[in-house]
């Protein structure tokens, strides 16, 4: 059995919050205001929601990128997004 603590790198913090769908984007903004965040990964399971979240964050002056698996994004494009993330 693997404990959550065994999967977390030192200096990396993981949070989970259950929030109503209508409140999720505002909740993200509240977290950004209250925490010092250098980098973050937000998982969503629908391409349309990923794009809405990206648009919302960018409208609030937060730089972000979308990374999608499968055939929704070329591997080369995924690699560029991932490389940019790990270089920051």
* Whether the predicted model's global pTM rises above the 0.75 cut: no
pLDDT digits over 26-84, tens only?
A: 999 998 889 888 888 888 888 898 899 999 999 999 989 999 888 888 999 989 998 99
| Distance from C-alpha of 42 to C-alpha of 22, rounded to nearest angstrom | 16
pLDDT value of residue 23: 92
State the virtual CA torsion across 24, 28, 29, 30 in degrees, nearest 10. Answer: 100
The predicted model gives 1-15 an average pLDDT of 64
pLDDT value of residue 6: 61
């Amino acid at each position: 059995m693997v404990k959550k603590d065994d999967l977390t790198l030192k200096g990396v913090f993981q949070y989970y919050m259950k929030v109503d769908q209508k409140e999720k984007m505002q909740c993200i903004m509240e977290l950004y205001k209250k925490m010092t965040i250098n980098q973050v990964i937000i998982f969503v399971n629908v391409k349309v929601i990923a794009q809405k979240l990206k648009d919302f964050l960018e409208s609030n002056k937060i730089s972000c990128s979308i990374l999608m698996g499968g055939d929704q994004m070329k591997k080369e494009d995924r690699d560029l997004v991932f490389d940019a993330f790990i270089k920051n």
